[in-house]
Amino acid sequence: MRFEPDAEGDPAKLAYTFGGFEPLVSVRPGTTVSTWTLDCFAGRVRTTADLPSQVCDPRFLNPQTGPFYVEGAEPGDTLVVHFRSIVPRGGRGVSSTVPLFGSLTATTYTAMLHPPLPERTWVYEIDNAAGVVRYDALDSPYTVDLPLDAMHGTVGVAPALGEVRSSLTPGSWGGNMDTPEMRAGTTCYLGVNVPGALFSLGDGHARQGEGETCGVAVECAMDTVLVLDLIKGGSPTPWPRLEDDEFIMTTGSTRPLEDAFRIAHTELVRWVQELTGLSDMDAYQLVSQTALTPVANVVDTNYTVVAKMAKRYLGDVRVMQGMHARWRR
Amino acid sequence: MRFEPDAEGDPAKLAYTFGGFEPLVSVRPGTTVSTWTLDCFAGRVRTTADLPSQVCDPRFLNPQTGPFYVEGAEPGDTLVVHFRSIVPRGGRGVSSTVPLFGSLTATTYTAMLHPPLPERTWVYEIDNAAGVVRYDALDSPYTVDLPLDAMHGTVGVAPALGEVRSSLTPGSWGGNMDTPEMRAGTTCYLGVNVPGALFSLGDGHARQGEGETCGVAVECAMDTVLVLDLIKGGSPTPWPRLEDDEFIMTTGSTRPLEDAFRIAHTELVRWVQELTGLSDMDAYQLVSQTALTPVANVVDTNYTVVAKMAKRYLGDVRVMQGMHARWRR
Amino acid sequence: MRFEPDAEGDPAKLAYTFGGFEPLVSVRPGTTVSTWTLDCFAGRVRTTADLPSQVCDPRFLNPQTGPFYVEGAEPGDTLVVHFRSIVPRGGRGVSSTVPLFGSLTATTYTAMLHPPLPERTWVYEIDNAAGVVRYDALDSPYTVDLPLDAMHGTVGVAPALGEVRSSLTPGSWGGNMDTPEMRAGTTCYLGVNVPGALFSLGDGHARQGEGETCGVAVECAMDTVLVLDLIKGGSPTPWPRLEDDEFIMTTGSTRPLEDAFRIAHTELVRWVQELTGLSDMDAYQLVSQTALTPVANVVDTNYTVVAKMAKRYLGDVRVMQGMHARWRR
Amino acid sequence: MRFEPDAEGDPAKLAYTFGGFEPLVSVRPGTTVSTWTLDCFAGRVRTTADLPSQVCDPRFLNPQTGPFYVEGAEPGDTLVVHFRSIVPRGGRGVSSTVPLFGSLTATTYTAMLHPPLPERTWVYEIDNAAGVVRYDALDSPYTVDLPLDAMHGTVGVAPALGEVRSSLTPGSWGGNMDTPEMRAGTTCYLGVNVPGALFSLGDGHARQGEGETCGVAVECAMDTVLVLDLIKGGSPTPWPRLEDDEFIMTTGSTRPLEDAFRIAHTELVRWVQELTGLSDMDAYQLVSQTALTPVANVVDTNYTVVAKMAKRYLGDVRVMQGMHARWRR
């Protein structure tokens, strides 16, 4: 199916939270959805002269496409989101520094007496065919081509306990995790908290570094094709999980960063136990010697860590009812 | 030159701190040193029946080979340590859980009312020729071959301000950083704090996961060949830096983990500025879109994060006076 | 006015979030409200045999009385909540340990591999006339009388950015701050985020220690008389502030705890600047030598720190348009 | 006995670390020592024109009086330090901001891209007879009298594991805890790690706020009379403890601040158990309802939290063999 967000209309009509919005469309499990997303600035930052604090309305940052109501999804189920393709629209991306936002600056939470760092905007040329994103320095003639590695920073469902959370925040419902692992070819698993799951996505990045240091990736609108499927019941999925051809991955999103690490690694130990039947201490040991642990972001209102284990260390296991393998074909 | 640690003798004669020990040997910059190191348990954990809390003396954990006095090294200089080869001795490695130590347990610093997790020891067969480390579960027949990826967990010099720090702790002097990047083919740069630098190393790992989740890698004695060289003066090296054929890397070691991230990324921004002449905001932006950020450890008395940037994004730069390229040949 | 919560009826009809509920009653600024609140367990934990995980529904924890719509309140205004009296109902309070909740235990965020600590419930006799709360140990005959010091753990308004937050969480909107400073005779100032402010309160404590170590205070239903008033415009109130006869107080609620400290102290520096006209560095210096900094809680999904300065150090200042002085008379 | 530090001579001859210095004097347990200490700047900051970064040598900050060798002290014993009087010398104190140091600024550990905050120095007139410390603003005519509340920021012994730690750092050995509780009338208990304990002290403050927000209190030289006594064996003292006429107190010093809280509160639970025979869960509960938790500092290389319980809640207990009561008489 094709879903067109009402992105050219009133920005107040798009979704800026997980939870709190009525679903715009209903899909059956197993549906392939073709859609697109606005960038995190709702398209208002276009040139190096556009500064977010001047051109953006703080109430309308990081607009999401959705929510999608997934038929039959009930609390305790696991939503399956397989990304078939994620392609930048429009040939350009933008990044910026934003006052009191980012990892190497005082923020509203890491509150200090410093004035903000300078607010600047960078524009990147994107060549989809060549797979290149071009960085151009502002203060010197330096330029360098970086590999295109398109992904979605924000992917999630409605939270538990009746909460409604800003699309700027990641947590157990997914949301603004900002991990480069959320690329085409990856499957994301999200625990369902409300009937229909109420899935939405946005915040396309042509690429980002691990940690998203300044708080803003190479932001662009995206054409995205994804499959929405459902696992009824079974083991719960308390925090978002990912799978690609080589790895299973867990996420943790909270503060301080070591607690995000602890969540991701505890989840990985528990998942390895489920898959292999190893005892808890044996699984802890195997994770200790094999996990990869890339930081996702240290800039959002919660920080995100990813823990990865190669599936080849797990023997002949069937992960999440074989969902990744099925939709990858 | 060949240096033999007095490892078969009195454990009280080995070095267990950075600083606080007289140098055992003096080397000229540019010397290739062939030596070996004991494992972190000083060889006392040999079978699955050996529990660290029973067989080890807490005063004699993580013995170091050294210190080496590097001739001409003065505070403000940078010590260059290039690893030519790191090869496990003896065909076996061990790992264990240790009471109140590790990332997924209460510790003496993350103090709680829980009793310790169970103390267990795992033994790994190591096949150097095949490049394989074999994991054997304790509580079920599960076994899996993991790739050998030998490295040193602990590499450092005497600290500043007259401090003497346990070999269990990482910091600005290096020490127990526990990053898998410290493998053969890598060059490590350490700021010199005292005359002669007083370099030592130990804590060989046949492999480890990123984060060293349970606090103990696949520990083994190592045969190691390294080059010790010196960069006189120049830009200071406030925190340990690494370089391999593809990446420059910075480290930060402190708590909480986001501050370790902040140190590593600030260092990377500053290093990129030095190498490219980019402005600080331009370097911040380039790091934000290109850094890789693997967690090193979340278990030691300080946590360690590594930040990496591919050298191909930096143009035709000469890093640290070309030291890596010189010794890599 | 008198407001009766529908507390004897369907628990699903009470408010368990800040935001997300329609106001139940409208009040004019300057109204004295007499009402009462359920305890955080909705009255379901009554004896030492009642364990929260068995008798409570996790969806219906920490019920709030409200929301109150305050007439004329607009975003940018400051809501004034002056507590005239807070009196325990029913002669008893309860406390408990709760699995994976509290500061000296693994939790769902500080995730570890430990099994939960034992779940236990304590019952306290409360003598309002004598001002005494009696602690009775469970495992030995130890008993001791503690001073009654009644307060509300949870006091807040609807959050900004369209968020809806669980009543278990504190933040810039107030909520579950769990500071013993929220007692009769104190005035609380809350920034208004939505029309009408949508104020509610609950979580009465007969007393609590600073930090609320095990996560649960001496919980009881409360008879409370408070004044709701409004400051139109003026300086914004980005985080909850308090005032009593001796002190002005700021709060910060986030993780890690040093960031909660940073918010509270930055807020105190800014408030002192506003009140005295001191420069930022002079205000920073005065706060550094005079602040009291009691920890409020280290157990909720965000931690809370309070910073206090004696008003006598500020000269003859008029705080918040004299609201505390007016309603204290 | 009277001990005169060599404070007028070569600053390089004073002690700037805990551990790493030979004892200067030997005392028998039960000795009353009359001595004095330099301020943390070694007297080099005298007027508002003296900026620490210009007039101080970073190697010679926070000089300590000592070390004292306490006869008979062995690892596992507890050193008793009772403060009889702490009186400012010289009628003046100084404070300052220091580049990249303090809680509301980027630091070398909370590394950011901000330039440092302005460096400024304040001078306080101290009137010992009137008990007054006078704050004078730099940028406006504001002045206010604050109560004199003299204390030592730095009190400690040689650390364990052969470590030598800067006098700028607090930890399990004591050191730079910067708590206002370390005043005359208080008894401090420190676990002994090396023969003779090697006690030293310094860093007098005419007063400080809780948290020592800008990183520098009202610093002054001090005339101090203290008793050094010894408890042989018995329960170990893993972290510094304090006692005054009303309270027992524990400390925790590490990062993040919640871990300092966890150490202090775990220690308090354990101490209450020892003193009362309560079960661990009963002691946890009693601490949860009665602890006071003032933050000590959020500025040093480790942060410090204090947890306090009123002795009147503990019944008729004998704390630390009655040491406080004995020396208080």
CA B62, B63, B65, B67 torsion: positive or negative? positive
Using an 8 Å Cβ cutoff, are A160 and A152 in contact?
no
Say yes or no to pLDDT of D10 above 80: no
Q: Which of residues 150-189 of D touch A (CB under 8 A)?
A: none
**CB of C239 closer than 8 Å to CB of C267:** yes
Q: What per-residue confidence (pLDDT) applies to C77?
A: 98
pLDDT at residue number C9: 60
Q: Tell me the mean pLDDT in the region A18-31.
A: 96
Residue B8 has pLDDT above 90, yes or no: no
- D198 and chain B: CB distance < 8 Å anywhere? no
Q: Is pLDDT at D125 greater than 90 in this prediction?
A: yes
Each residue of B32-45: pLDDT tens digit? 999 999 999 999 99
Report the distance separating Cα A203 and Cα A78, nearest Å: 22
Q: Is A142 on the interface with C (CB under 8 A)?
A: no
Condensed to tens digits (0 to 9), the pLDDT of residues A296-322 reads 999 999 999 999 999 999 998 999 999
Would you give the DSSP letter of residue B207?
-
Predicted interface score ipTM higher than 0.90: yes
pLDDT tens profile C79-97: 999 999 999 999 999 999 9
A269 touches chain C (CB under 8 A): yes
Q: What are phi and psi of A136, to 5 degrees?
A: -120, 120
Averaged over D222-237, what is the pLDDT? 97
To the nearest whole Å, the CA of D103 is away from the closest chain C CA by 7
- Interface probe for B, chosen from C98, C101, C104, C258 (most Cβ of B below 10 Å), is C104
The CB-side HSE value for D251 (13 A sphere, CA atoms) comes to: 32
CA distance to partner chain B, nearest, from residue C119 (Å): 13
Among A17, A62, A100, A109, most C C-beta atoms within 10 A, so best to mutate, is A109
Residue type, B88: P
pLDDT value of position D103: 98
D282 three-class SS = helix
User: Residue D6: is its pLDDT beyond 80?
Assistant: no
pLDDT tens readout for residues B87-121: 999 999 999 999 999 999 999 999 999 999 999 99
Helix, strand, coil percentages in chain B from 3-state DSSP, rounded to 5: 15, 35, 45
The answer, yes or no, to whether residue A6 has pLDDT greater than 80, is no
In this predicted structure, what is the pLDDT of residue C329? Answer: 85
Q: Check pLDDT > 90 for residue C124.
A: yes
Contact (CB<8Å) D213/C287: yes
Give the separation between CA C274 and CA C270, rounded to whole angstroms. 6
Closest chain D C-alpha to C146 CA, distance in angstroms: 8
Q: Is the pLDDT of residue B10 over 90?
A: no
| Res A9: pLDDT | 60
Distance from C-alpha of D193 to C-alpha of D197, rounded to nearest angstrom: 6
CATH 2.40.30.10 fits A2-328, yes or no: no
**Contact status of C125 with chain D (Cβ, < 8 Å):** no
- D95, two tokens: 């404070």
* C112 at interface of B, judged by CB pairs closer than 8 A: yes
Cβ(B92)–Cβ(B222) below 8 Å:
no
Per-residue pLDDT at B14: 83
Q: What is the C-alpha end-to-end distance of chain A, expressed in Å?
A: 19
Confidence at C102, pLDDT banded by 50, 70, 90: very high
Q: How far apart are CA C80 and CA C324, in angstroms?
A: 9
pLDDT tens-digit series, residues D247-259: 999 999 999 999 9
Amino acid of residue C134: R
- Eight-class DSSP state of D262: H
pLDDT at A11 over 80: no
pLDDT for D321 beyond 90: yes
Confidence of residue C246 (pLDDT cuts 50, 70, 90): very high
- d(CA C222, CA B144) in angstroms, rounded, equals 60
Task: Out of A236-240, C11-15, C116-120, C247-251, pick the least confident.
Answer: C11-15
* Cβ distance of D109 and B266 shorter than 8 Å: no
User: Which member of D144, D279, D293 has the closest CB to residue C211?
Assistant: D293
Over residues D225-233, the mean pLDDT reads: 98
The correct CATH number of C2-234 out of 3.30.420.10, 2.70.40.10, 2.60.120.580, 3.40.50.1980 is: 2.60.120.580
**Cβ-nearest to A113 among D104, D256, D258:** D104
Q: What is the pLDDT of residues D16-38, one digit of tens each?
A: 999 999 999 999 999 999 999 99
Q: Do C113 and A166 touch (CB under 8 A)?
A: no
Q: Among D105, D163, D166, pick the best mutation site for testing chain B contact (most B Cβ within 10 A).
A: D163
Please tell me whether the peptide bond between B159 and the residue prior to it is cis, using omega within 30 degrees of 0: no
Å from D109 to nearest chain C CA?
Answer: 13
| Separation of alpha carbons A314 and A308, rounded Å | 12
pLDDT given at position C57: 92
> Are C20 and A162 an interchain contact pair (Cβ–Cβ within 8 Å)?
yes
What is the chain A residue with the closest CA to D258? A256
A266 and B CB contact within 8 Å: yes
Enumerate the domain spans of chain A: 2-328
Quick: pLDDT tens for B184-195. Answer: 999 999 999 999
Which residues in chain A have their CB less than 8 angstroms from residue C265's CB? 111
Which of A14, A62, A100, A163 should be substituted to probe chain C, the one whose Cβ sees the most C Cβ atoms within 10 Å?
Answer: A163
> In the predicted model, what is the mean pLDDT of residues A154-173?
97
C 16-35 → D contacts, CB under 8 A: none
Q: Residue C188 corresponds to which amino acid?
A: C
C262 touches chain A (CB under 8 A): yes
* CATH homologous superfamily for the domain D11-320: Acetamidase/Formamidase-like domains (2.60.120.580)
D186 pLDDT above the threshold of 90: yes
- Say yes or no: A207 contacts chain C, CB-CB below 8 A: no
**Mutant choice from C97, C132, C148, C213 vs D, greatest count of D C-beta within 10 A:** C213
Nearest to D83 by CA among D199, D173, D233, D192: D199
Q: Which residue type is seen at B29? A: P
> Is some CB atom of chain B closer than 8 A to the CB atom of A48?
no
Residues 6+ apart with CB under 8 A from A142: A136, B276, B277, B278, B282, B315
* A12: confidence class by pLDDT, cuts 50, 70, 90: low
CB atoms within 10 A of CB C69: 18
Whether chain D has a CB inside 8 Å of the CB on B111: the answer is yes
Q: What pLDDT sits at residue B21? A: 92
Chains in contact with A via at least 3 Cβ–Cβ pairs below 8 Å = B, C, D
CB A159 within 8 Å of CB A172: yes
Q: Report residue B7's pLDDT band, with 50, 70 and 90 as the boundaries.
A: low
Cβ atoms B180, B151 nearer than 8 A? yes
Q: Cβ(D317)–Cβ(D309) under 8 Å?
A: no
Confidence class for position C12, pLDDT limits 50, 70, 90: low
What is the distance, to the nearest Å, from the Cα of residue A202 to the centroid of all Cα atoms in its chain?
Answer: 8
Q: Tell me which chain A residues have a C-beta less than 8 angstroms from the C-beta of C19.
A: 164
The average pLDDT across C300-327 equals 96
| Gap between the Cα atoms of D252 and D267, Å rounded | 8
Give the nearest chain A residue to D259 (CA atoms): A256
Closest chain D residue by Cα to residue B281: D113
pLDDT 10s digits, C43-73: 999 999 999 999 999 889 999 999 999 999 9
Taking all residues of chain D, what is their mean pLDDT, rounded to a whole number? 96
Q: In 3-state terms, what secondary structure has residue C269?
A: helix
**D190-218 average pLDDT score:** 98
Chain C nearest-CA distance from D211, in A, is: 7
pLDDT band at A94 (very low <50, low <70, confident <90, very high): very high
- Would you call B162 and D165 a contact, using CB atoms and an 8 Å cutoff? no
Kindly report each contact of residues C247-250 with a partner whose C-beta sits within 8 Å and lies 24 or more positions away, as own/partner: C247/C292, C247/C308, C247/C309, C247/C310, C247/C311, C248/C275, C248/C308, C248/C309, C248/C311, C248/C314, C248/C319, C249/C181, C249/C306, C249/C307, C249/C308, C249/C309, C250/C306, C250/C307
Contact D263 B166 (CB under 8 A): no
Contact B272, B313 (CB under 8 A): no
Q: Chain C residue with minimal CA distance to B111? A: C104
d(CA A50, CA A45): 5
Residue C14 has pLDDT above 90, yes or no: no
Q: Which pLDDT belongs to residue A8?
A: 67
Contacts of A115 in chain C (CB under 8 A): none
Closest-CA distance of chain D to residue B266, Å: 6
Top residue of B255, B261, B268, B299 to mutate, by most chain D CBs within 10 Å, is B255
Q: Taking the CA of residue A177 as centre, how many other CA atoms within 13 Å lie in the half-sphere pointing to its CB?
A: 32
Q: From residue D118, how far is each of A111, C279, D101, D111 by CA, in Å?
A: 17, 12, 11, 17
